Amino acid sequence: MLLLAIESSCDETAVAILSGEPGQPARILASEIASQIELHRVYGGVVPELASRNHSLHLRPLVEQALATAAISLKDIDCFAATSGPGLASSLLIGATAAKALAVAAGKPFIAVNHLEGHLLSPFVATGKVPPHVALIVSGGHTLLLDVAKPGHYRRLGSTRDDAAGEAFDKVGKMLGLPYPGGPEIEKTAKGGNTEAFSFPRSMLKDPSFDFSFSGLKTAVLYTLTDRNPDYGTPRTSDLPDLCASFQKAVIDVLIAKTLRAARHTGRDTIALSGGVSLNQALRHAFTAACAKEGLTLLTADSGLCTDNAAMIAFAALLQHFDGHQSPLDEDIDPNLALAT
């Protein structure tokens, strides 16, 4: 079974080709990404109009590159898939329309994939098997805690009430004068910093829900900067490692506390981390230690599958295909597509 998937929900154009059989590890034959990070960096965030224009420019060469890397031709592909939401409407349209067109031209099925399901399933590409677990998706746009009975059966436990974890990293990075995206920059700068130097809030820890909130933490960093420097704008360079380490620790503490509580609540013995923020090594180390202490198994995605990519979309589509599912060609994109209620 050979499947080609396109991901274009935000600022990365990505095409992947996977081969797989039910219950077997999926083989990534190609996973190509045309990153737009440099393009958007000057604006400090993603500009939707620029993103969609660049998706249309890069998509066709990227499909050809993926086929060349996989050493196959278009007629070998058994099924086509694309992200249909959530994301930027103008960006989603490019990838979804292209995948549908390829499917029609080849007379093969099309499968629409929820971007969040792609992230959620990314830790299981290597095994092809998805055990019942608690999933934490931490990306630039989402912070979502779910109970997963099996693929396609998701129950929402909690989500962020304001900023996503990655968004908080990016906004705090911007405040600190670090380049976009702030997540990896904060992680780098935090190395050698003191996590206790600043006492930042751990919001909603006492709240019985599984929801998160990161806007108070973001404001606390801003107030700290303002207190130190009335002409806010350039914090002292020497404070940066401590500020980054203290902020990062505050995010990690809350993510771990709520996820472990969710595992206890649901009785699941496995936790799976996904999304761009799950690349953060401090987060991975802290989760590894916390899970070991509670006798829980921790699964994470390979590094190439954490930030936006098409291999995770292809894998999610592959599992849907094995389940006998295919999407109608008039299935529309949905910028606010939900994964579970």
Interface with Zn ion (CB under 5 A): 139, 308
Nearest CB to Zn ion, comparing residues 189 and 309: 309
Stretch touching ligand KG4 by CB under 6 A, among 62-70, 179-187, 194-202, 320-328 = 179-187
Helix (H, G, I), strand (E, B) or coil at 192: coil
> How far apart, in Å, are the Cα atoms of 64 and each of 17, 67, 111?
11, 5, 20
Residue 193 beta carbon to ligand KG4: minimum distance, rounded to whole angstroms? 14
Which of 128, 183, 193, 235 forms a contact with ligand KG4 (CB under 6 A)?
Answer: 183
> How far apart, in Å, are the Cα atoms of 211 and each of 46, 52, 156, 227, 233?
26, 32, 10, 30, 32
Strand partners, 133: 148
Strand partners, 158: 145
Residue 122 beta carbon to ligand KG4: minimum distance, rounded to whole angstroms? 9
The C-alpha angle with vertex 231 and arms to 228 and 235, in degrees rounded to 5, equals 50
- Applying CB under 6 A, does 239 fall inside the site for ligand KG4? no
Choose the contact partner of 83 out of Zn ion, ligand KG4, none; CB within 5 to 8 A by kind: none
Residues ≥6 apart with Cβ < 8 Å to 260: 271, 290, 291, 294, 296
Stretch touching ligand KG4 by CB under 6 A, among 28-36, 102-110, 224-232, 276-284 = 276-284
Torsions phi, psi of 113, nearest 5?
Answer: -120, 140
Buried b (16+ CB within 10 A) or exposed e, 109-127: bbbbbbbbbbbbbbbbbee
Nearest CB to ligand KG4, comparing residues 109 and 166: 166
Positive or negative CA dihedral for 121, 126, 128, 132? negative
Omega of the bond prior to 179 within 30 degrees of 0, cis?
A: no
CB 216 within 8 A of CB 201: yes
State which of positions 23-42 bind ligand KG4 (CB under 6 A): none
Nearest CB to ligand KG4, comparing residues 87 and 128: 87
- Applying CB under 6 A, does 166 fall inside the site for ligand KG4? yes
- Applying CB under 6 A, does 13 fall inside the site for ligand KG4? no
Omega of the bond prior to 181 within 30 degrees of 0, cis?
A: yes
Helix (H, G, I), strand (E, B) or coil at 166: helix
Choose the contact partner of 279 out of ligand KG4, Zn ion, none; CB within 5 to 8 A by kind: ligand KG4
Choose the contact partner of 193 out of Zn ion, ligand KG4, none; CB within 5 to 8 A by kind: none
Strand partners, 243: none
Residue 215 beta carbon to ligand KG4: minimum distance, rounded to whole angstroms? 15
Residue 281 beta carbon to ligand KG4: minimum distance, rounded to whole angstroms? 7
Choose the contact partner of 166 out of ligand KG4, Zn ion, none; CB within 5 to 8 A by kind: ligand KG4
Residue 329 beta carbon to ligand KG4: minimum distance, rounded to whole angstroms? 26
Choose the contact partner of 184 out of Zn ion, ligand KG4, none; CB within 5 to 8 A by kind: ligand KG4
Choose the contact partner of 182 out of ligand KG4, Zn ion, none; CB within 5 to 8 A by kind: ligand KG4
Which of 256, 276, 315, 339 forms a contact with ligand KG4 (CB under 6 A)?
Answer: 276
Pairing mode of beta strands 153-159, 270-274:
unpaired
State which of positions 293-332 bind ligand KG4 (CB under 6 A): 307-308
Residues touching ligand KG4, count (CB under 6 A): 18
- Applying CB under 6 A, does 182 fall inside the site for ligand KG4? yes
- Applying CB under 6 A, does 187 fall inside the site for ligand KG4? yes
H or E element, residue 2: strand 2-7
Name the residues that contact ligand KG4, by CB under 6 A: 139-141, 166, 169-170, 181-184, 187, 275-277, 279-280, 307-308
